[in-house]
Chain A
Amino acid sequence: MEQLAQLGAGIAIGFGAVGAGLGIGFATKGLMDAVSRQPEVAGKAFGFFLLGAALSEACALYAFVIAFLLLNK
């Protein structure tokens, strides 16, 4: 049972990181597109980018919490 919980923790954080990585990647792509088209919006767009990156990063952290709960059962 212990080994299964460890396996589950690994799977949880792995798949969670895939989603958050995709999300932050798309956010960075959007920032790059916006800045290369209109360099003058760089400062404003970076603020929104940080907000979106933090929101999508939170999804990986939900997985992290689940993994931590599985390990510390």
Chain B
Amino acid sequence: MEHWLYNISFAGHTLTFNLDTIFTMWFAMIVLLIFAIAATRKLSLVPGKLQAFCESIMHFFWNVMGSMNTAKQHVPLIASLFLFILFANLMGQLPLRIIHIKSGELASPTNDVNLTAAMAIIVLIYYVTAGIMKKGFKFFLHDFSFTGIVMALVELLEMVTRPLSLAIRLFANIFAGEILVTIALGACAYFAPLPIMLFEILVAFIQATVFMMLTIAYVSSATGEEH
């Protein structure tokens, strides 16, 4: 699965853009933005249908944060990550692939490792910043002893492995799902891909939940008392 690459030379370097990922990512973001604006445009004390639906979504996030003992100030990051990943994963099952582009195809943007790596790095920056704001220098080294220094080194290593595993997990699940659907399409184009596509819808929900849960776990371990 190649992407539609576009090269720009900039100050002696070559920047490569994956245009299909950018298109689908902006599509997902615009749909979410329109949904959010439409939901919050006319807020009233007695909620309408749309407002009640969105309030139930927010209650879901508050309940999850409450069950994981994390402060509610982190809800914006968690909620936007979950909604974006869920919508991006589900987009892979839309018939967007009918639209022909130069090379590659319009599918879910999370089948590009660059996007998932960018989200994982955002999570890394967020939880390190939250930990430093909460604890100061003690975030890196809680007590000056042998075990403290060894644990600090292990936590430094975790700052590399956590975003790596977050990025590869989401990317590989979606990518493997699309390859499975393609193989099933090659075997029999009519009914063979149907169960796999249903399974992919389940995987879209599960992977969005896994990304959200791990983000909450990292943030709460960075800001919590023991870490």
A residues contacting B by CB (< 8 A) are 50-51, 54-55, 57-58, 61-62, 64-65, 68
Kindly identify which residue among B168, B169, B206 contacts A51, using a CB–CB cutoff of 8 Å.
B206
- Cross-chain pair count, CB within 8 angstroms: 36
Q: List 8 A-B contacts (CB under 8 A).
A: A54-B207, A55-B210, A57-B173, A58-B168, A58-B169, A62-B169, A64-B176, A68-B175
Q: How far is the CB of B96 from chain A (nearest CB, A)?
A: 23
Q: Does B172 contact A (CB under 8 A)?
A: yes
Q: Does B124 contact A (CB under 8 A)?
A: no
B residues contacting A by CB (< 8 A) are 165, 168-169, 171-173, 175-176, 203, 206-207, 209-210, 213
What is the CA–CA distance of A68 and B178 in the complex, to the nearest angstrom? Answer: 13
> Contact: B169 with A61, CB < 8 Å?
yes
Beyond A58-B165, A58-B169, A62-B172, 5 additional contacts (C-beta under 8 Å) are: A50-B206, A54-B207, A57-B173, A58-B172, A62-B168
Kindly identify which residue among B165, B172, B209, B213 contacts A64, using a CB–CB cutoff of 8 Å.
B172
When distances are taken between beta carbons in the complex, the residues of chain A under 8 Å from B176 are 61, 64
When A61-B173, A61-B176, A64-B176 are in contact, do A54 and B168 touch as well, CB less than 8 Å?
A: no
When distances are taken between beta carbons in the complex, the residues of chain A under 8 Å from B203 are 54
Kindly identify which residue among A51, A55, A61 contacts B172, using a CB–CB cutoff of 8 Å.
A61
> Contact: B172 with A65, CB < 8 Å?
yes
